[in-house]
Amino acid sequence: MIADLPAAVGKQVRICGWVQTMRTHGKIMFFDMRDRSGIVQTVFIPKNPDFAVAKEARSEWAVSIVGTVSDRPAAMVNDQIPTGKIELFAEGIDALSRSETLPITIDTDGFDIGEEKRLKYRYLDLRRARLHKNLVFRHKLNNFIRQFLTQKEFVEIDTPYMTKSTPEGARDYLVPARLEAGKFYALAQSPQQYKQLLMAGGMERYFQIARCFRDEDTRGDRQPEFTQLDLEMSFVEQEEVIRLNEEMLIALVKELAPEKRIQQVPFPRISYQEAQSKYQTDRPDMREDKNDPNLLAFCWVIDFPFFEKTPEGGWTFTHNPFSAPKPEFVDDLLAKSNISNILTTQYDIVLNGWEVGGGSIRNHRAEALQSVFEIMGFELERVKRNFGHMLEAFSYGTPPHGGIAWGLDRLIMILENEPNIRETMAFPKTGDGRDLMMDAPSDVDASQLKELNIAVVKKENVKKPN
């Protein structure tokens, strides 16, 4: 690795990477060689038997170079990079892969290039230092979470991506079941039901860095698939979940983003009603100085209303149907009365005006969950058809439990001072859900559709009125 070269002065080494830039001074050639760990200056002289190969090389060729690590002359020391005091005196070069002229530049931050072109050539876009830094940070964050929660006796458990389509809020991505014609799986919008069933299974402390899928309309900061930290705990109340997550966020910032300053610890708490009254939003930006890119203002928003009116005059949930009401409203929920005033145990964690996580204490009693759906106007038969597995699980001694999910893409976006979550993902899609690099979504062969017992009905062109 190039980053290791300063400790190898006087030794012969072999490095592999990309030619970043080339320049000549008289008859001597200089390469700036790059790998994922850094950049080093490489020197070729005419006496080198591979000098002709070196002269032929161009930017972004992948090459292998053998040479001796040497101290730079004092006048040529570059204090701006970690390898600035050394150089590699080349003795041989192999061209591993040649490169055409790149369709996009990669030596800038990339914001000067149209995003659609960047996404089309994402594999090149990822070579730029900023995106490389973001993905390395993402790895470190995931690793930190795993270590922190493992020390707290959580167990990491994978849950299925393909599940049952149930009315939980967003639109499902559907997957046809070839062996059962006319039936479909749904890609999981979240592990919500599975993690509650893990609590029914006695796991007590679960977490997962989970992939989630939601077929939502175009929005600037949404993606068809995204990643969240998902965790659940048995035999807990709201205070215990909040305290654990606050401890983890504080430790994460201290370890991974020490340049950041958390404005207030413990994090302030504000009710939904107060947030709406004071800030006109349930995601208040409470920074004292909004021009300070390293200031982090966390806050908890609590005491959300459980239900809200639909345009048709009925009721729907404000967050998800699995939340429990606050204890003082349990009787109202079961009686399906005083609906507009029922408050839920939902808690959101907000950072600099962004919701970066949300959770609740859950309904763990079948009759309470059933009441939620009945308030929403579901017939008992539909409740059983969609959620019978949950109702049955709750009839077998399921413990009280609660948890939270963090939007990891959004959290990384804020900590890395990026303008949107696409800059934190390796292969994001456009705002309208297209993958320009793979050209997806795309047509499929008619034979595939026939095998799935599916026919595509194309809409006829409708003439617009004059």
Which CATH number covers residue 201?
3.30.930.10
152 Cβ partners below 8 Å, 6+ apart? 205, 244
Residue 248 lies inside a defined structural domain of this protein: yes
Q: How many separate domains does the chain show?
A: 2
413 in the same domain as 342: yes
Q: Which residues pair with 323 in a beta bridge?
A: 362
For 127, the token pair is 């070579």
SS3 call for 204: coil
Location of structure tokens 């059962």: 180
Residue 73 lies inside a defined structural domain of this protein: yes
Residue 466 lies inside a defined structural domain of this protein: no
Q: What is the pLDDT of residue 232?
A: 98
Q: What is the pLDDT of residue 217?
A: 78
For 57, the token pair is 């090389």
Which CATH number covers residue 36?
2.40.50.140
Residue pLDDT, tens place only, 208-252: 999 999 998 766 678 999 999 999 999 999 999 999 999 999 999
Q: What is the pLDDT of residue 320?
A: 86
329 in the same domain as 237: yes
Q: What is the pLDDT of residue 93?
A: 95
Q: What is the pLDDT of residue 220?
A: 65
Q: What is the pLDDT of residue 390?
A: 93
395 in the same domain as 274: yes
Q: Which residues of the chain have pLDDT under 50?
A: 465-466
75 in the same domain as 38: yes
Residue 433 lies inside a defined structural domain of this protein: no
Residues, the chain: 466
140 in the same domain as 68: no
Cα–Cα distance, 136 to 228 (Å, whole number): 17
The two beta strands, 347-351 and 354-361, are antiparallel
Q: What is the pLDDT of residue 63?
A: 97
Q: What is the pLDDT of residue 183?
A: 93
Residue pLDDT, tens place only, 178-217: 999 999 999 999 999 999 999 999 999 999 999 999 998 7
Domain that holds residue 258: 120-424
Last residue of a domain, one of 64, 97, 130: 97
